[in-house]
Chains A and B, each alone.
Chain A
Amino acid sequence: MINYLSSLPAACTQGIIWGIMAIGVYITYKILDIADLTVDGSICTGAAVCAMMVINGQPMWLALIASVIAGMLTGLVTGIFHTFMGIPAILSGILTQLILWSVNLKIMGAANQSLSATKYNLLISRLNLDRSIIILQLLAIALIIVLYWFFGTEFGSSVRSTGANLNMSRAQGINTSFTKIIGLVISNGIVALSGALLAQYQGNADINMGKGAIVIGLAAVIIGEALFGWLCRNNFALKLIVVVLGGIVYYIVYTTVIYIGLDADLLKMLSALLVALFLAVPYWKGKYFSGVKNVEKRALKQEKKAAKKAARKNKKEVA
């Protein structure tokens, strides 16, 4: 038991790193309504760039910025495949992912590069969890503040509306190819940042580290929404915080499951099945319970409420 409890800080640290990654997934999956598989590759790109820069004696801040820019470029590639070349989003992501397999190997010069905290001056490490957790929290908060600002701006709103209604967005003069590309660029920049953090945390960058990342990201988004969605009240910043919480819960469950003695090899399968199940829920809802009726019912209720409010207001004014 003590063993288990002592492993929880590590779970939280990893959870925040994957929570940051899941924010990237949230931007494409929830805001743009695109399932972007680039992330399986771009998380490793971020790790590879960061590791190589640090190994070659570059300062940490420069390594992180370079990682983010490299990640943004991967999003740009997928965005161009999807918009300019008309390739379906899923396939575009898969193509970039494959490109990145080669690119990441070239960046690292090997399938694995060790990034030991004893040898280099790292920002975070599994060897110093207390410090790591604080730094990661600050990073996550700063990221959420920046995103909250961006998606509230005129341009950020047009990115959101692109995902919400492509037709309406074009009719309102929004260049939806451009907004989609920008969304993919931002998302993969964030994912690469999480990759750079992950490499430092685990002490190496590995060509396989992104395998199934999209599923973990989706799981974090879904778990967060299912457990803490009621907290959000339509506030965008809270929604992003909930995504990070989803990442933390994911890793606590992960740690618990391993502690109980479940075969760690099965975890990816279980994550995928969990995500599949949650993705099915809205479909089943639409199929077996008429969603339209619910919406209409809600609309009617709201109308009645508004009418009552107006009546009350009138009364007040008369009185």
Chain B
Amino acid sequence: MLELKDVRKTFNPGTINAKKALQGVDLHLNAGDFVTIIGGNGAGKSTVMNAIAGLWPIDSGTIKINGKDVAGLPEHKRAKYLGRVFQDPMMGTAATMEIQENLAIAARRGNHRTLRWGISSKEKKMFREMLAVLGLGLEDRMTAKVGLLSGGQRQALTLLMATLKEPKLLLLDEHTAALDPKTAAKVLELTDNIISEKKLTAMMVTHNMRDAIAHGNRLIMMHEGRIIFDVSGEEKKALTVDALLEKFSQSSGQEFSNDRALLS
């Protein structure tokens, strides 16, 4: 499904600000895998996601999605395979456009955009039903500007947009981190539902260790641009936060540091 081989990336190479953000990342995901990713601040979690999404070219290594090497493709071409939700609720939706317009744009991800009308009445009906499932009352506000929505509503909408056109891989980068705990839990539940319903392959970065343990079938831990720990199946189910912290200091020789990490 997804195959990363020895992916490396240095930011600002050759300057005093040079930062080796990825130092040889290897990762193989099977179809249907739901991986949670944890790690300290600056471990390279977002950078892995951005490398897959193609925000910039990687220095070396290969990135394959469904066997196709995508490392040379620009971001908008890789979008065909990817659904993405970001930490910042502002990033995934267009504030000055209507809810239904945002969805219509997402419904055409990976398609050629023609001079046909931008939204059909059939789509409007479909969007209404999908929004109703969220239970946020958005189905009655389809022509409202997205800028009027709360952070949680925007994240739920972004999630819908990311999965409307079924992606080969869903990338979630701390997508609940900017929300209050109650809203975060709701969006996370929604995430679980969508992933299991559509049987998606997904990667989810989270700073909450309990969430990382409770969700998905596999967990990886990153440190200084490398994957230092990778568990799945029964072993993952049996994990505890303490065991994770122990594992971290063993592998890295350091204390786990993430100023937002919820450890208990």
Q: Please tell me if the beta carbons of A152 and B118 are within 8 angstroms of each other in the complex.
A: yes
Q: Which residue of A lies closest to B161 (CB)?
A: A172
Q: Would A153 and B114 be within 8 Å (CB), given that A171-B84, A175-B76, A302-B141 are in contact? A: yes
Bound Cα distance from A290 to B147, whole angstroms: 15
Per-position contact with A for B97-127: 1 when CB-CB < 8 Å, else 0?
1000110111011110111111100000000
Q: Would A299 and B149 be within 8 Å (CB), given that A164-B94, A165-B91 are in contact? A: yes
Q: Please tell me if the beta carbons of B92 and A168 are within 8 angstroms of each other in the complex.
A: yes
For B166, the chain A residues whose CB sits under 8 A away are none
Choose from B101, B106, B143, B148 the contact partner of A298 (Cβ within 8 Å). Answer: B148
**143-192 of chain A: CB within 8 A of chain B:** 150, 152-158, 160-161, 164-165, 167-176
For chain A, give the interface size range. 20 to 34
Q: Would A161 and B97 be within 8 Å (CB), given that A152-B118, A153-B116 are in contact? A: yes
Per-position contact with B for A213-250: 1 when CB-CB < 8 Å, else 0?
00000000000000000000010000000000000000
For B234, the chain A residues whose CB sits under 8 A away are none
For A175, the chain B residues whose CB sits under 8 A away are 74, 76
Q: Please tell me if the beta carbons of B95 and A165 are within 8 angstroms of each other in the complex.
A: yes
Bound Cα distance from A181 to B79, whole angstroms: 20
Q: Please tell me if the beta carbons of B117 and A153 are within 8 angstroms of each other in the complex.
A: yes
Q: Please tell me if the beta carbons of B79 and A157 are within 8 angstroms of each other in the complex.
A: no
Q: Does A303 contact B (CB under 8 A)?
A: yes
**59-117 of chain B: CB within 8 A of chain A:** 74-77, 79-80, 82, 84, 86, 90-97, 101-102, 104-106, 108-111, 113-117
Q: Does A309 contact B (CB under 8 A)?
A: yes
Question: How distant is A284 from chain B, measured CB to nearest CB, in Å?
Answer: 19
For B115, the chain A residues whose CB sits under 8 A away are 150, 153-156
For B153, the chain A residues whose CB sits under 8 A away are 299
Q: Please tell me if the beta carbons of B79 and A154 are within 8 angstroms of each other in the complex.
A: no
Q: Please tell me if the beta carbons of B117 and A152 are within 8 angstroms of each other in the complex.
A: yes
**116-147 of chain B: CB within 8 A of chain A:** 116-119, 137, 140-141, 143-145, 147
Q: Please tell me if the beta carbons of B144 and A302 are within 8 angstroms of each other in the complex.
A: yes
- Select the residue from B75, B101, B113, B141 with max chain A CB neighbours within 10 A: B113
Q: Does B240 contact A (CB under 8 A)?
A: no
How many interface residues does B have (CB within 8 Å)? 47
Q: Which residue of B lies closest to A298 (CB)?
A: B148
For B94, the chain A residues whose CB sits under 8 A away are 160-161, 164-165, 168-169
For A167, the chain B residues whose CB sits under 8 A away are 86, 91-92
Bound Cα distance from A310 to B97, whole angstroms: 24
Q: Would A172 and B96 be within 8 Å (CB), given that A302-B144, A306-B137 are in contact? A: no
For B82, the chain A residues whose CB sits under 8 A away are 171
Bound Cα distance from A195 to B74, whole angstroms: 38
Q: Which residue of B lies closest to A31 (CB)?
A: B96
Q: Please tell me if the beta carbons of B77 and A306 are within 8 angstroms of each other in the complex.
A: no
- Select the residue from B82, B118, B119, B145 with max chain A CB neighbours within 10 A: B118
Q: Does B193 contact A (CB under 8 A)?
A: no
For B106, the chain A residues whose CB sits under 8 A away are 172
Q: Does A265 contact B (CB under 8 A)?
A: no
**124-154 of chain A: CB within 8 A of chain B:** 150, 152-154
Q: Please tell me if the beta carbons of A295 and B110 are within 8 angstroms of each other in the complex.
A: no
Residues of A at the B interface (CB closer than 8 Å) are: 150, 152-158, 160-161, 164-165, 167-176, 234, 295-296, 298-300, 302-303, 306-307, 309-310
| Pairs of residues from A and B, 7 with the lowest C-beta to C-beta distance, nearest first | A173-B79, A164-B94, A157-B118, A306-B137, A165-B94, A154-B113, A155-B113
